[in-house]
């Protein structure tokens, strides 16, 4: 494009700026180039990979099967890459991201170690002016936020943290050169997914590990294992069909059902979106029965857990919807902890009691509970011995001081909105995004915000995002966005943004489908609700209605002439 750039403005002009070079940013770059557009991608990290670039802590692993957690846009890429484990670890996923960057020669258009600081809509030339911390200024028609849902680490305000004389590490910013922990006294705060994955590995590496636990976790075995070559071959042979079913499913992946031959569905069932048990998205693991836990006798319930372990609850849809069934499942779950953890006091401390199953993101683990049987691992229950302060020597709780050489924070992220709220984003009339979202994020389809024309959020709040297989969700959003941009060219429009009414209706729908699930139970606090961050509005951010259903909403809106969007050709 030749822009009417004022001569006193040193900014260069391109078609699009993409923020972030994780899986979303890389695929956006690929597709925009295919359309012949000029693009620059800014990435804070030193290489591609996003989440998988930063989260290199010991034990970091994906919780979606690797054969499904991969791009589908190029069948050749699908065929040539070989995953080695059922669920890939961080090093293998980062290798995959790097392979993609090399294979499509993406790096020349990515500027690494550069953070976008502001993006201002210029009403005059109908472009975004994007500024970076290196002082670069780019004007672009399209500002595409591929900033990730879990990219800004949360470091809680722990009194005395600055005083600590040892090393502080955050799981979400683990150094490329792993520190040598042999013989060291290591402490870890946080027992969400990151902590649960790291704890067994840190216990192996450290001299002694102390786990400071505020909320016990409901975690179930990941059952990770090497991938047999026959399984890989079958996936590769059946990828087109499997990908179609993923895109139609509740959570964007099929799990153990992937290689089962799908039953032919009645015509009226087609396109309903996978799992038809009515269970909310983000919960796919074993296949779910239509029956409820409460339909079983007490003995049958116990047998189901004895047979299938702590993950047995996932088979029953009422656990996700009915508080009574949920509490029955919680009780059976706690019994599973007693079976593994030898010291009854430690077992007791590991039992969650004050929030329901299926309220937070389901955590998967490898040998988590067994780790607490080690003599070189100590659990401190912060519910009974609250943390008082960090000192120069370690962590002091009401139970006394624990001296440490290394303190690991596995304290999570400013999820879903954190990365966007760090950038000074101003839309029409200079309105700040942080102001527009002061009561929680408000989007249309998780793609666009009213008053912020031509700004797109890939897997933004209000879309399935973290409740779906992220790569499937990313490919869908990127395809939608680039098709939309092409459509605007065809109809001669220069801007697109949603109407405020469309946003209101969508936000209502997002809330409505989340109501009456365990995700929004009154005693549930999770990063989905923003409740891990002080002062953040309590709003359920992802779309829980199912990926397949969401995708059909998006298709219908396009087919109905971009219903709810305002296209401007002036
Ligand atoms: P999470 O799931 O937000 O977990 C953070 C953990 O840190 C959780 O156990 C918190 O306890 C704990 N935490 C946070 N602040 C404190 C303070 N101040 N004191 C003690 N403990 C604290 O983050 P993860 O990184 O594990 O996982 C995030 C997602 O990344 C995950 O769901 C996957 O999708 C990948 P709390 O529960 O708040 O009591």
pLDDT digit string, tens, across residues 129-147: 999 999 999 999 999 999 9
CA distance 374 to 378: 8
Q: What is the pLDDT of residues 163-187, one digit of tens each?
A: 999 999 999 999 999 999 999 999 9
Q: Check pocket membership of 190 for ligand 1, CB cut-off 6 A.
A: yes
Question: Does the beta carbon of 155 lie inside 6 Å of ligand 1?
Answer: no
Q: Which residue has the CA at smallest separation from atom 6 of ligand 1?
A: 190
| The predicted structure's pLDDT at residue 415 | 95
**CB distance 346 to 379 below 8 Å:** yes
Q: Give the pLDDT band of residue 280 (cuts 50, 70, 90).
A: confident
Cβ atoms of 64 and 51 closer than 8 Å: no
Closest residue by Cα to residue 537 from 565, 507, 517, 568: 507
pLDDT band for 4, please (50, 70, 90 cuts).
Answer: very low
Tallying the residues shown for the chain, one arrives at: 570
Task: Determine which residue's CA is closest to atom 15 belonging to ligand 1.
Answer: 411
Given ligand 1 and candidates 55, 149, 196, 214, which is best to mutate, with the most ligand atoms within 8 Å of its CB?
Answer: 214
- Closest ligand 1 atom to Cα of 217: 9
Quote the ligand 1 centre to 114 CA distance (angstroms): 28
pLDDT digits (tens, 9 = 90+) for 520-530: 999 999 999 99
Q: Which of the two residues, 277 and 162, has the higher pLDDT score?
A: 162
Q: Where is pLDDT greater, at 355 or 283?
A: 355
Least confident of 189-203, 249-263, 404-418, 450-464: 249-263
Residue 126 has pLDDT above 90, yes or no: yes
Q: Which of 199, 356, 412 to mutate to test the pocket of ligand 1 (most atoms within 8 A of CB)?
A: 412
User: What pLDDT is attached to residue 8?
Assistant: 55
156 in ligand 1 pocket by Cβ < 6 Å?
yes
Nearest CA to ligand 1 atom 31: 193
Tell me the average pLDDT across 55-65. 97
- Assign 570 a pLDDT band (cuts: 50, 70, 90): confident
What pLDDT score was predicted for residue 539? 92
Confidence of residue 328 (pLDDT cuts 50, 70, 90): very high
* pLDDT above 80 (res 271): no
Whether 284 shows a pLDDT value over 80: the answer reads: no
How far is 532 from 214, CA to CA, in rounded Å?
Answer: 12
561 Cβ partners below 8 Å, 6+ apart? none
Lowest mean pLDDT among 36-40, 264-268, 288-292, 321-325: 264-268
Give the confidence band of 3 by pLDDT, cuts at 50, 70, 90.
very low
Q: Is the shortest distance between the CB of 194 and ligand 1 below 6 Å?
A: yes
Residue 7 has pLDDT above 50, yes or no: no
- Separation between Cα atoms, residue 412 and residue 197, nearest integer Å: 13
**Is residue 18 a contact partner of residue 40, using CB atoms and an 8 Å limit?**
yes
**Which residue has a Cα nearest atom 4 of ligand 1?**
192
**pLDDT tens per residue, range 17-55:** 999 999 999 999 999 999 999 999 999 999 999 999 999
Judged against a pLDDT cut of 90, whether residue 206 lies above it is answered with yes
Do β-strands 363-365 and 377-381 pair in parallel, antiparallel, or remain unpaired? unpaired
Instruction: Give yes or no for residue 11 having a pLDDT over 90.
Output: no
User: 466-516 pLDDT, tens per residue?
Assistant: 999 999 999 999 999 999 999 999 999 999 999 999 999 999 999 999 998
Residues above pLDDT 90, as percent of the chain:
91
Hey, which of 174, 194, 362 would you mutate to test ligand 1's pocket, going by the most ligand atoms within 8 Å of its Cβ?
194
Among residues 60, 27, 473, 115, the alpha carbon closest in space to that of 281 is found at: 473
């Amino acid at each position: 494009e030749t822009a009417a750039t004022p001569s006193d403005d040193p900014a260069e002009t391109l078609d699009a700026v993409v923020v972030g070079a994780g899986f979303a940013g890389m695929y956006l770059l690929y597709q925009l180039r295919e359309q012949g557009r000029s693009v620059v991608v800014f990435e804070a990290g030193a290489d591609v990979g996003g989440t998988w670039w930063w989260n290199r802590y010991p034990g970091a692993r994906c919780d979606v099967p690797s054969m499904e957690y991969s791009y589908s846009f190029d069948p050749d890429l699908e065929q040539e890459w070989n995953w080695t484990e059922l669920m890939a670890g961080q090093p293998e996923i980062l290798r995959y991201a790097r392979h993609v960057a090399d294979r499509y020669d993406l790096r020349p258009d990515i500027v690494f170690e550069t953070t976008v600081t502001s993006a201002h809509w210029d009403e005059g030339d109908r472009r975004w002016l994007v500024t970076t911390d290196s002082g670069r200024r780019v004007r672009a028609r399209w500002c595409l936020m591929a900033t990730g849902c879990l990219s800004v680490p949360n470091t809680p305000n722990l009194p005395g943290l600055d005083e600590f004389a040892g090393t502080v590490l955050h799981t979400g910013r683990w150094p490329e050169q792993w520190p040598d922990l042999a013989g060291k006294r290591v402490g870890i705060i946080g027992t969400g997914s990151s902590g649960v994955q790291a704890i067994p590995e840190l216990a192996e590496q450290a001299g002694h590990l102390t786990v400071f636990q505020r909320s016990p976790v409901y975690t179930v075995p990941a059952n990770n294992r090497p991938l047999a070559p026959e399984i890989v071959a079958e996936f590769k042979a059946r990828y087109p069909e499997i990908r179609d079913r993923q895109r139609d499913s509740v959570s964007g992946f099929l799990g153990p059902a992937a290689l089962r031959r799908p039953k032919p569905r009645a015509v009226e069932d087609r396109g309903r979106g996978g799992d038809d048990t009515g269970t909310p998205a983000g919960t796919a693991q074993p296949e779910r029965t239509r029956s409820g836990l409460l339909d079983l006798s007490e003995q049958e319930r116990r047998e189901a857990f004895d047979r299938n372990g702590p993950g047995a609850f996932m088979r029953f849809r009422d656990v996700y919807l009915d508080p009574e069934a949920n509490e029955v499942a919680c009780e059976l779950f706690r019994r599973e902890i007693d079976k593994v953890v030898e010291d009854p006091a430690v077992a007791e401390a590991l039992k969650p009691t004050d929030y329901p199953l299926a309220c937070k993101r389901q955590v998967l683990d490898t040998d988590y509970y067994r780790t607490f049987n080690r003599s070189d691992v100590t659990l401190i229950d912060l519910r009974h011995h609250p943390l008082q302060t960090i000192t120069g020597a370690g962590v002091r709780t009401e139970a006394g001081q624990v001296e440490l050489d290394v303190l690991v924070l596995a304290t999570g992220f400013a999820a879903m909105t954190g990365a966007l709220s760090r950038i000074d984003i101003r839309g029409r009339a200079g309105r700040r995004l942080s102001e527009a979202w002061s009561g929680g994020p408000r989007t249309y389809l998780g793609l666009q915000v009213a008053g912020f024309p031509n700004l797109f959020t890939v897997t933004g709040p209000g879309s399935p995002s973290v409740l779906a297989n992220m790569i499937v969700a990313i490919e869908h959003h990127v395809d939608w966005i680039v098709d939309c941009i092409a459509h605007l060219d065809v109809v001669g429009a220069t801007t697109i943004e949603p109407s405020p009414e469309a946003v209101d209706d969508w936000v209502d729908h997002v809330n409505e489908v989340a109501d009456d699930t365990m995700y929004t139970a009154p005693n549930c606090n999770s990063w989905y609700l923003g409740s891990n961050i002080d002062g953040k509005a309590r709003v359920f951010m992802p779309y829980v209605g199912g990926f397949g259903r969401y995708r059909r909403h998006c298709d219908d809106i396009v087919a109905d002439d971009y219903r709810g969007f305002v296209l401007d050709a002036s």
